[in-house]
């Protein structure tokens, strides 16, 4: 009955799945409802008869947003957290779904569903992204939560489309790391980039999806204990890859992580992911743009606890992409000035979009060299 009510609300739609189920499109806020969308106000509580709504609408509010159409208004989550019950619920058949989200006005926010992170640190008003999620219990439970303390966490629009009746994620390349790996928004045009954001350009997307769980400022302990690893362990399976790059922020004295501690935290993450049947791959961070010697050779082998990462790869018998050395060879080849042009202005650490694209290329090429197939053949 619920599916019939939702389908009736949506009407027949191009893009229906193989069973004729149209995508569900929700327009949040108290403004006009866009054509072919279901309007949802903050006060709309979930009911089994309706099949969608907020679990605790008393903790939601309607707010304006800066865009047009569906993006002109939004709802704000007043209570949040990955384990919060203040969720937007939608009854769904068992299966694998693609969830497309558009936020309202926010400076940094994260999307969670089923109690774990899904898309991290979206920035800018009306930021958009998408993810796949298996529904095994008949209901999606989604909320927008904290990416940065003190900012608003809002949702303007949501599209839900079933891509398979089998509730299992597609073969996935999971990526963990810090700001040199993370995604930046808008995804297609951001000035700054992380190699995890651009990796999909070098992957056969018919064979794998890429899920980038990296975030700026992250350290190994934070990634393991703060919920990001939890997402990967929840969904990872045989045939998946887990690319993990850490060390830049771990070496900062304020994070109080010795090289020995870093190594054991990384070992724990490698073993947890390996236990799911997925394949861990360690990646060393590239150096700074300024790591050239007087002869014009770029070298950063002493940075970012690289030695611990190399030793760990050998001890745990896992693959290693030594991006530190690979990127240095590339930077030496192109020279100082061209290397600086691959980094953000006045910043010797963070690559711009072009720099991130080159780093992603180096990672993908080295995986292929090691016969870890990710590219189209």
- Strands 154-155 and 116-122 turn out to be unpaired
**What is the Cα–Cα distance from 173 to 283, expressed in whole angstroms?**
13
| Peptide linkage before 186 cis (omega within 30 of 0) | yes
**What is the Cα–Cα distance from 248 to 177, expressed in whole angstroms?**
9
- Strands 88-91 and 73-77 turn out to be unpaired
**What is the Cα–Cα distance from 372 to 366, expressed in whole angstroms?**
9
**What is the Cα–Cα distance from 329 to 94, expressed in whole angstroms?**
49
Contact 179, 194 (CB under 8 A): yes
- Backbone dihedral angles phi then psi of residue 280, each to the nearest 5 degrees: -75, 145
* Angle of CA points 93, 99, 105, to nearest 5°: 135
Q: Which residues of 7-19 are buried (b: 16+ CB within 10 A; e: fewer)?
A: bebbeeeeeebee
Contact 92, 46 (CB under 8 A): no
Contact 325, 161 (CB under 8 A): no
Residues noted as catalytic: 179, 347, 350
């Amino acid at each position: 009955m619920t599916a019939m009510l939702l389908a009736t609300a949506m009407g027949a739609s191009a893009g229906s799945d193989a069973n004729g189920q149209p995508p569900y499109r929700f327009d949040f806020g108290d403004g006009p409802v866009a054509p072919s969308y279901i309007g949802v106000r903050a006060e709309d509580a979930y009911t089994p008869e309706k099949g969608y709504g907020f679990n605790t609408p008393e903790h939601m509010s309607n707010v304006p947003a800066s865009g047009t159409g569906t993006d002109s208004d939004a709802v704000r989550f007043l209570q949040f957290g990955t384990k919060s019950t203040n969720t937007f619920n939608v009854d769904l058949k068992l299966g694998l779904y693609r969830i497309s989200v558009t936020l309202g006005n926010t400076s940094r926010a994260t999307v969670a569903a089923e109690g774990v992170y899904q898309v991290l640190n979206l920035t800018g008003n009306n930021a958009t992204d998408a993810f796949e999620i298996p529904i095994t219990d008949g209901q999606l439970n989604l909320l927008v939560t904290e990416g940065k303390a003190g900012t608003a966490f809002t949702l303007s629009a949501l599209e839900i489309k079933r891509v398979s009746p089998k509730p299992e994620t597609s073969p996935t390349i999971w990526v963990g790391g810090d700001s040199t790996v993370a995604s930046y928004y808008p995804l297609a045009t951001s000035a700054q980039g992380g190699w995890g954001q651009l990796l999909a350009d070098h992957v056969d997307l018919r064979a794998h999806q890429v899920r980038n769980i990296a975030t700026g400022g992250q350290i190994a302990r934070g990634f393991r204990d703060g919920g990001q690893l939890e997402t990967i362990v929840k969904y990872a399976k045989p045939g998946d890859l887990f690319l993990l790059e850490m060390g830049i922020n771990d070496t900062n004295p304020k994070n109080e992580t010795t090289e020995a501690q870093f190594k054991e935290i990384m070992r724990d993450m490698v073993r947890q992911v390996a236990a799911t049947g997925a394949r861990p791959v360690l990646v060393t961070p590239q150096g700074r743009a300024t790591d050239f010697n007087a002869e014009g050779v770029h070298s950063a082998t002493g940075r970012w606890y690289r030695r611990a990462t190399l030793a760990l790869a050998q001890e745990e018998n896992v693959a290693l992409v030594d991006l530190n050395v690979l990127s240095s060879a590339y930077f030496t080849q192109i020279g100082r000035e061209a290397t600086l042009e691959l980094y953000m202005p006045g910043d010797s650490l963070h690559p711009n979009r072009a720099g991130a694209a080159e780093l992603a290329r180096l990672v993908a090429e080295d995986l292929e060299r090691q016969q870890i197939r990710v590219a189209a053949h």
